[in-house]
Amino acid sequence: MRLAIFASGGGSNFQSIVDSTISGQLSAEVVLCVASNPSAGVIKRAETLGIPVHVLPPSFPKDYPGPDQPNELLQVLAEHKVTFIALAGFMKLVPGFLIAQYPGAIVNIHPALLPKFGGKGMYGRNVHVAVLENGETESGATVHLVDLEYDTGAIVLQEKVPVFPTDTPEILAARVLKTEHSLYPKALQIFAK
């Protein structure tokens, strides 16, 4: 499996996926990092590892690729012979042209137990605040297939973590993130097989 990882932030899930390929836990090769933010920390991680980086324009996916322009993203993915895409903190809605090109081959990780606490605006700290405000006793992470809506694709794997009365959004986020780092490579290995 030739994997492209799409990210917008620091890249800790990117790093855990790369580490799992190096250790042999994940039978894949990370061949490309696609960043939606030119100052994202994931870019430095990728460059340090010698993984090529493609930075999307700020307008992506709106007006992309634009009239009479070749689809640069699809060209870059083809050049790197990408066969599967993992979203790892990617803060953009995946456009239909990409889903059509990679049907059933794009997954995302979400910091809650979908279908609860998913959808537009439910990312990062917002998710953990909602979990705590709702009085949940457990949260977790979900890996799911990507479709044309936020967080509605078929669930691949989930892992639960407890929610404690003393949790803050930051404490819960750290617990969930640790779970994400172990869960995501396991989910990707299902597709690699």
To the query of whether residue 110 is one of the catalytic residues in this protein, the response is yes
The confidence score (pLDDT) of residue 63 equals 64
Residue 140's beta-bridge partner residues? 160
CATH of the domain at 188: 3.40.50.170
Domain that holds residue 187: 2-192
The confidence score (pLDDT) of residue 28 equals 98
Which segments in the chain show pLDDT lower than 50? none
Catalytic residue chosen out of the listed positions 54, 110, 128, 144: 110
SS3 106: strand
**Structural domain count, the chain:** 1
For residue 36 the two structure tokens come to: 């939606």
Element (H, E) at 140: strand 138-145
* pLDDT, tens digit (0-9, with 9 covering 90-100), for 58-91: 888 776 666 555 688 999 999 999 999 999 999 8
The confidence score (pLDDT) of residue 183 equals 98
Query: How far apart are alpha carbons 82 and 30 in whole angstroms?
Result: 9
For residue 129 the two structure tokens come to: 């605040």
The confidence score (pLDDT) of residue 61 equals 79
The confidence score (pLDDT) of residue 58 equals 83
For residue 157 the two structure tokens come to: 């794997």
Name the nearest CA neighbour of 13 among 81, 82, 86, 105: 86
